[in-house]
């Protein structure tokens, strides 16, 4: 069950909560999603989880996601605005006091009015420092040491003790400013993600007899008819029964060109209607609609962390105690062993090191960078189910494509009907259409469309699908088989050898054990299929192959047209899995190189699940394939895979920049601090300044535009 962490506003706190929650039996792998402020936990462990969260941050409460009502969300936004205004007031007042106190600090220090120095600067100190001090005391009471609040508190109290009042106030003031700017940057990213995900329709116009009633989308049953007015967002997935219009699909697919829809065509929740009035028959309830699926996938993506994120979480846990120990050594050892070294001088240096050492830049910016990458990909119609898969894309070595519906349009049409054994074309088409009555495969749809007449349900019995072969059904008392050549051999149907090697996609039909003939099916290559392969190779993908259950001739034709390196035809689902395993086993550096399989049908689900990165076509792909996939391409365009690879590399590059920036600058100033060449002011930049820079850099991932979609 999904819970919202109400009151969570600190990335470091989120990491601590995660560690605390993982100590609970049954939550060893739980992940706190800071970007959406949520966790997925069993309902029966909610009370125990709440207690664990309270131990880390008493003000945070767990609220079931479905109970997070819109008014509450509005109240939260208002509360956050008030908090922001209050923070600005305190920072502004403290800044004025700090400026006044610093300006007259030296003049007042040696006079009977020295108390004024303390009154002004200590007031400024507490105005901006009390939240940090309160958090440090609270954490100490719960035996939680070595966090940024502890470091800031020790550093500033130490500065006060050696009468460096302006420096103590400066640390707290600029820490507060940095914290405020960091929150602004994080909230900006959150708002960008929220705007991206603000495609949830708020109502549906339900058609009831001659009336239209406005209801919530969740209340509309499958089979009902809804009216979609011009300018409205489509609330549920369905089929157009009346009207013609153009739909803006960019929220789902990233595609800017409006899509024309007419009666009989599918529309998806989240699309925006243009000028026409549409009547749509609902085919899925709201929970299963395209918009719900997208929202769920993007929100859950933050729970699957990249190796870099996991490393930073562990690194921060050990890093802070180490630097505290180093700072303590700097304060105590030189005065004991170096002639002329004074305790006050080296204590000041150790306080500088404490300020420099805060790990906020890494703890905040790395998860934010990955979440921005996932959000940016979503804007382009690419749903990545986790930062780990975004990271895996950067190591892509081989891409294996399914053919039908992935590289080809999947909109088949029957171009030739060849009867045998005394059957007529009419007999052949009628039997094939009846046997395929329950199939959702594009080839089945094309056969029924070619027949052009309805098939009564009561004529068809015992329908079953034979994976990788075809279908079988009893039609008016006769056993009809429809499928590929393997189905004929499997069932022992005698047929002439020459029909096994037809050019194109052939569908064979047998009636009551007699070969009745075959149909030739035409399918067109997708416009961007060849471009997608070329772009993948430009980006460094070593090998592109086709794995298909279709005939060898059809596979060869498509492979030549798109420039694939190899193709493997007439594969059953288990054969595709075996072939993928063979391809992965042949990698020169298996641990560092990845294989992606791209497919759309229910038969592709096993191999999508087996590949290092499973990619599903989302708009027309089967639910099983989408569930098994790690990446979903919402507009069924192969070119989106190259775009996903670009976004993944951009995200990885920005994350790496932040790690180098944060650790490099901190190490540089750490060395200067030990040598006495860096003071509190430099330390503030090394901590607060670097954090703000890293967070701003991380937000670039949200707005990256891949070249592959230019």
Q: Residue 492: give its domain's CATH number.
A: 3.40.1110.10
Give the helix/strand (H/E) hosting 342: none
Q: Give the neighbor-by-neighbor strand order of the sheet with 514-522.
A: 413-419, 514-522, 505-511, 478-483, 470-475, 460-466
Relative to beta strand 259-261, strand 245-248 is: antiparallel
In a domain, 505, yes or no: yes
Identify the pLDDT of residue 530. Answer: 92
Same-domain pairing of 560 and 621? yes
| Measured distance CA(50)–CA(637) in Å, rounded | 44
Residues 6+ apart with CB under 8 A from 276: 230, 243, 244, 245, 246
| Measured distance CA(597)–CA(607) in Å, rounded | 7
In a domain, 600, yes or no: yes
Contact assessment for residue 595 and residue 612, using Cβ atoms and an 8 Å cutoff: yes
Q: Which range marks the domain in which residue 152 is found?
A: 74-194+300-371+650-703
Contact assessment for residue 380 and residue 297, using Cβ atoms and an 8 Å cutoff: no
Same-domain pairing of 432 and 485? yes
In a domain, 218, yes or no: no
Same-domain pairing of 433 and 363? no
User: Considering 595, 629, 663, which residue would you say is the last residue of a domain?
Assistant: 629
Supply the DSSP string of 47-63, one letter for each residue: HHHHHHHHHH-TT-EEE
Q: What angle do CA 244, 293, 207 make, to 5 degrees?
A: 40
In a domain, 619, yes or no: yes
- CA-to-CA dists, residue 554 to 133, 408, 415, 504, 536, angstroms: 71, 11, 15, 5, 23
What are phi and psi for residue 4, nearest 5 degrees? -90, 135
Same-domain pairing of 119 and 187? yes
Give the helix/strand (H/E) hosting 90: helix 70-103
Q: For the chain, how many structural domains are there in total?
A: 4
Contact assessment for residue 103 and residue 121, using Cβ atoms and an 8 Å cutoff: no
In a domain, 657, yes or no: yes
| Measured distance CA(508)–CA(159) in Å, rounded | 86
Residue 491, Cα to own-chain centre: how many angstroms?
A: 45
| Measured distance CA(601)–CA(625) in Å, rounded | 6
Same-domain pairing of 511 and 619? no
| Measured distance CA(176)–CA(158) in Å, rounded | 18
Same-domain pairing of 113 and 180? yes
Q: How would you classify residue 454: left for phi > 0, otherwise alpha for psi between -120 and 50, otherwise beta?
A: beta
Residues 6+ apart with CB under 8 A from 57: 7, 8, 10, 13, 16, 17
Same-domain pairing of 190 and 304? yes
Residue 67, Cα to own-chain centre: how many angstroms?
A: 24
- Residue (of 702, 659, 703, 650) closest to 394 by Cα position: 650
Supply the DSSP string of 494-523, one letter for each residue: ---GGGGG-SSEEEEEEETTEEEEEEEEE-
614-635 burial by CB neighbour count: b if 16+ within 10 A, else e? Answer: bbbbbbbbbebbbebbbbbbbb
Q: How would you classify residue 354: left for phi > 0, otherwise alpha for psi between -120 and 50, otherwise beta?
A: alpha
In a domain, 590, yes or no: yes
Residues 6+ apart with CB under 8 A from 44: none
Residues, the chain: 710
Identify the pLDDT of residue 31. Answer: 80
Same-domain pairing of 556 and 490? no
| CATH number of 592's domain | 3.40.50.1000
Half-sphere exposure of 186 (CA within 13 A, CB side): 24
Single out the catalytic residue among 179, 402, 604, 630: 402
- Residue (of 234, 333, 363, 224) closest to 281 by Cα position: 224
Q: What is residue 422's three-state secondary structure?
A: coil
Residue ranges in the chain modelled with pLDDT below 50: 69-71
| Measured distance CA(2)–CA(42) in Å, rounded | 8
Q: Is 498 a catalytic residue?
A: no
| Measured distance CA(106)–CA(119) in Å, rounded | 14
Same-domain pairing of 398 and 361? no
pTM of model > 0.95: no
User: Considering 566, 595, 629, which residue would you say is the last residue of a domain?
Assistant: 629
User: Considering 492, 522, 552, which residue would you say is the last residue of a domain?
Assistant: 522
In a domain, 233, yes or no: no
- CA-to-CA dists, residue 47 to 38, 52, 53, 195, 570, angstroms: 15, 9, 10, 32, 54
Contact assessment for residue 282 and residue 236, using Cβ atoms and an 8 Å cutoff: yes
Residues 6+ apart with CB under 8 A from 422: none
Q: How would you classify residue 623: left for phi > 0, otherwise alpha for psi between -120 and 50, otherwise beta?
A: alpha
507-565 pLDDT, tens digit each: 899 999 899 999 988 777 888 899 999 999 999 999 999 998 877 878 888 999 999 99
In a domain, 294, yes or no: no
Same-domain pairing of 398 and 512? no
| Measured distance CA(640)–CA(706) in Å, rounded | 9
Same-domain pairing of 551 and 502? no
Same-domain pairing of 183 and 313? yes
Q: What is residue 240's three-state secondary structure?
A: strand
């Amino acid at each position: 069950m999904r819970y919202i962490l109400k009151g969570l506003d600190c990335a470091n706190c989120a990491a601590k909560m995660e560690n605390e929650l993982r100590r609970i039996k049954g939550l060893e792998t739980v992940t706190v999603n800071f970007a959406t402020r949520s966790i997925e936990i069993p309902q029966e462990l909610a009370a125990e989880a709440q207690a664990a969260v309270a131990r880390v941050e008493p003000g945070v409460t767990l609220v079931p996601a479905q109970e997070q009502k819109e008014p509450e969300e509005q109240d939260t936004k208002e509360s956050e605005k008030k908090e922001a205004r209050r923070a600005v007031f305190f920072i502004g007042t403290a800044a004025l006091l700090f400026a006044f106190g610093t300006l007259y600090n030296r003049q007042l220090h040696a006079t009977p009015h020295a108390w004024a120095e303390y009154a002004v600067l200590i007031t400024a100190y507490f105005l901006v420092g009390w939240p940090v001090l309160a958090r440090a005391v609270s954490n100490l009471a719960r035996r939680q040491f070595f966090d940024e609040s502890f470091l800031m508190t020790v550093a500033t109290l130490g500065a006060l003790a050696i009468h460096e009042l302006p420096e103590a106030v400066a640390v707290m003031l600029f820490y507060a400013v940095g914290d405020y700017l960091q929150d602004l940057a994080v909230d900006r990213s959150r708002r960008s993600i929220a705007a991206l995900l603000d495609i949830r329709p708020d109502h549906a116009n339900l058609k009831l007899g001659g009336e239209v009633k406005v209801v919530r989308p969740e209340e509309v049953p499958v089979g009902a008819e809804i009216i979609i007015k011009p300018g409205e967002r489509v609330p549920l997935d369905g089929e157009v029964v009346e009207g013609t219009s153009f739909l803006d699909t960019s929220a789902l697919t990233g595609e800017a060109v409006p899509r024309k829809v007419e009666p009989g065509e599918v529309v998806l929740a989240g699309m925006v209607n243009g000028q026409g009035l549409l009547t749509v028959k609902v085919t899925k309830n709201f929970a299963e609609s395209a918009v719900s699926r997208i929202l769920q996938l993007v929100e859950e993506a933050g729970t699957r962390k990249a190796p870099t994120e996991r490393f930073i979480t562990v690194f921060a846990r050990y890093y802070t105690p180490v630097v505290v120990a180093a700072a303590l050594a700097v304060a105590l050892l030189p005065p004991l062993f170096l002639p002329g070294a004074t305790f006050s001088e080296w204590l000041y240096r150790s306080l500088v090191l404490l300020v420099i050492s805060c790990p906020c830049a890494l703890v905040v910016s790395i998860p934010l960078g990955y979440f921005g990458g996932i959000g940016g990909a979503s804007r382009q119609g690419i749903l990545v189910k986790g930062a780990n898969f975004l990271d895996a894309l950067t190591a892509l070595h081989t891409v294996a494509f399914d053919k039908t519906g992935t590289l080809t349009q999947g909109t088949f049409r029957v171009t030739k009907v060849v009867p045998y054994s005394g059957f007529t074309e009419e007999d052949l088409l009628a039997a094939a259409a009846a046997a395929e009555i329950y199939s959702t495969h594009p080839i089945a749809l094309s056969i029924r469309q070619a027949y052009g007449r309805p098939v009564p349900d009561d004529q068809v019995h015992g329908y079953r699908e034979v994976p990788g072969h075809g279908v079988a059904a009893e039609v008016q008392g006769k056993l009809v088989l429809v499928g590929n050549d393997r189905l004929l051999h499997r069932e022992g149907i005698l047929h002439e050898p020459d029909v096994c090697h037809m050019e194109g996609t052939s569908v064979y039909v047998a009636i009551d054990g007699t070969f009745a003939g075959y149909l030739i099916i035409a399918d067109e290559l997708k416009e961007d299929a060849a471009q997608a392969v070329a772009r993948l190779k430009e980006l460094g993908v070593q090998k592109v192959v086709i794995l298909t259950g279709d005939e060898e001739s059809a596979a060869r034709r498509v492979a030549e047209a798109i420039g694939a390196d190899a193709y493997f035809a007439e594969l059953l689902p288990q054969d595709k899995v075996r072939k993928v395993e063979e391809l992965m086993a042949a990698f020169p550096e298996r641990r560092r190189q990845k294989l992606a399989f791209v497919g759309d049908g229910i038969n592709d689900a096993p191999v999508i699940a087996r590949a290092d990165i499973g990619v599903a076509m989302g708009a027309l792909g089967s639910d099983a394939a989408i569930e098994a996939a790690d990446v979903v391409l919402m507009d069924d365009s192969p070119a989106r895979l190259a775009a996903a690879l670009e976004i993944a590399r951009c995200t990885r590059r920005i994350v790496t920049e932040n790690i180098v920036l944060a650790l490099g600058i901190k190490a540089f100033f750490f060395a200067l601090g030990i040598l006495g060449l860096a003071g509190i002011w430099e330390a503030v930049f090394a901590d607060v300044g670097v954090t703000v820079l890293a967070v701003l850099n991380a937000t670039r991932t949200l707005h990256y535009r891949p070249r592959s979609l230019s």
